[in-house]
Amino acid sequence: MAKVKIYFDPIGNTMNIWWGKPNDAHSSEEVNSPYRNDVIIKNKKGGPISIEIIGLLPKELNVSEEIAKKLQKNKTPFLLSSG
């Protein structure tokens, strides 16, 4: 049974689902549909090994939308953290 790895990026609003090895990634292909613009990652043989789901979160929960609003409002850089 293959292991599935899921990576969620709340700032980029994406989720990657890997059922193959990330090191085997060779090419990617955008999947255009009326509803989504996701990306299929393929190995050298052209077999799919991952999918990247773009725009996973609704606008109300999208962190990047909130950052963009603050940047537009303040016109100053927005720090996520300081060290």
pLDDT confidence bin for 34, thresholds 50/70/90: confident
Which 8-state DSSP code applies to residue 19? Answer: S
End-to-end CA distance of the chain: 43
User: Which H/E stretch holds residue 9?
Assistant: strand 5-9
Residue 80 pLDDT more than 70?
no
- What mean pLDDT do residues 35-51 have? 93
Whether domain 5-74 has CATH 3.90.25: the reply is no
